[in-house]
Amino acid sequence: MFLIKIGGSVITNKRELYTYRKDVVLRLAVELALSEKSFVLVHGAGSYGHIIADETNLGVVDFSKEMLMPMAQVQMDVRRLNLKFMQDLKDAGLPVVSMPPGAMLTCSDGKIKEFDASLFKRYSKMGFNPVTFGDVVLDDERGHVIISGDQIMEVLLDSMEFEKVAFIADVDGIFTSNPALDKDAELLEKVRPDQIDELCTNVHVSDVTGGMRNKLEAMACMAKKGVDVHLLNGTIAGRLEKFLKGEHIIGTVMEGQK
C-alpha cells in the first residue's frame, strides 16, 4: 500500500480563490487507477483553505468568537474541495472514502494529540482507498489550529504499514537553489534528512501551513523512521503512474535513515 500526499498547489491555483484544477485531478486519478495499487491519500486545501485562513488569521491567533465564522467557512470550503476531488477519483473507477480530520483528530499546541487510525485500517482492509485532507481542528491549548496534510502524513506513517511514501507537488523536486530565479539551479536526485538547512526552501512563498520548509521537515521526520520519501511533480503527465509502478522518474528522494 502507498501513502501519497497531493499538494493543494497541484489540484488548485493557490493564488485564486476556489480554483479547482479538474483536468489535473482527473489525470492523476486515471494514473492512480492504472497502477492498480492500493493507497491512502492526503490532499492539500489550496485556494479552498489558505486564502481565507490567511486573511482572517485563522489558526494563527487563539480562538475567539470572532473566529467562529471563519472556522466554519474554511471547514465547509475544504470539504467542498474534498467532495470535488472524491467525485473525480470515483469517476476514474477508484473506491474511495472520505476521512475528515476535523471530526477525527484533536491537537495540543499545534501538534496532533489524538488520532485513531483504526478506521483507515478497516476501510483499507475492505478494499477502499481512504482519503483525508488539511483541515481546521480543535486544539487543547489554542482552541483551534490548522492541521496540514503533511502533519497527517506523519501520523499515518506511524500508524500503518506502507510500501512507499510520496509527496506530489508542482515542482520537479528539491534544487540547489530556486529554479525560478536561478537558471543554473540543479535538481538533487537524492538528499538526506540532515541536509534540510542546506536545501533550497523558497521555491514558493510560504502559506498558512508553513510552505516548503515545513514540507521538507515532514519529509525528514518520516525519512528518519527508515522509509524513503519521494517528491515529484504531479503537473507532469505520467510521473505519478511511473512512480507507482516502480519506474525511474525525475524527482527527489529523501533517503530513509534510522
Cell numbers describing residue 60? 494563527
Q: Give all domains of the chain, ordered by start, each with its CATH number.
A: 2-254 (3.40.1160.10)
CB atoms within 10 A of CB 136: 25
pLDDT tens for the chain, 258 residues long, are 999 999 999 999 988 999 999 999 999 999 999 999 999 999 999 999 888 888 888 877 788 888 899 999 999 999 999 999 999 999 999 999 999 999 889 999 999 999 989 999 999 999 999 999 999 999 999 999 999 999 999 999 999 999 999 999 998 998 887 777 888 888 999 999 988 777 755 443 334 444 677 788 899 999 999 999 999 999 999 999 999 999 999 999 999 987
Distance CA 170, CA 235 (A): 6
Distances (CA, A) of 113 to 16, 176, 210, 214: 33, 35, 19, 19
**Given this model, what pLDDT does residue 211 score?**
60
Helix (H, G, I), strand (E, B) or coil at 220: helix
182-202: buried (b, 16+ CB within 10 Å) or exposed (e) per residue? eeeeeebeebebeebeebbbe
Q: Which amino acid is at 105?
A: L
pTM for this model (two decimals): 0.91
What does 169-211 look like in DSSP terms, one character per residue? ESSSSEESS-TTT-TT--EESEE-GGGGGGS---SS---TT-H
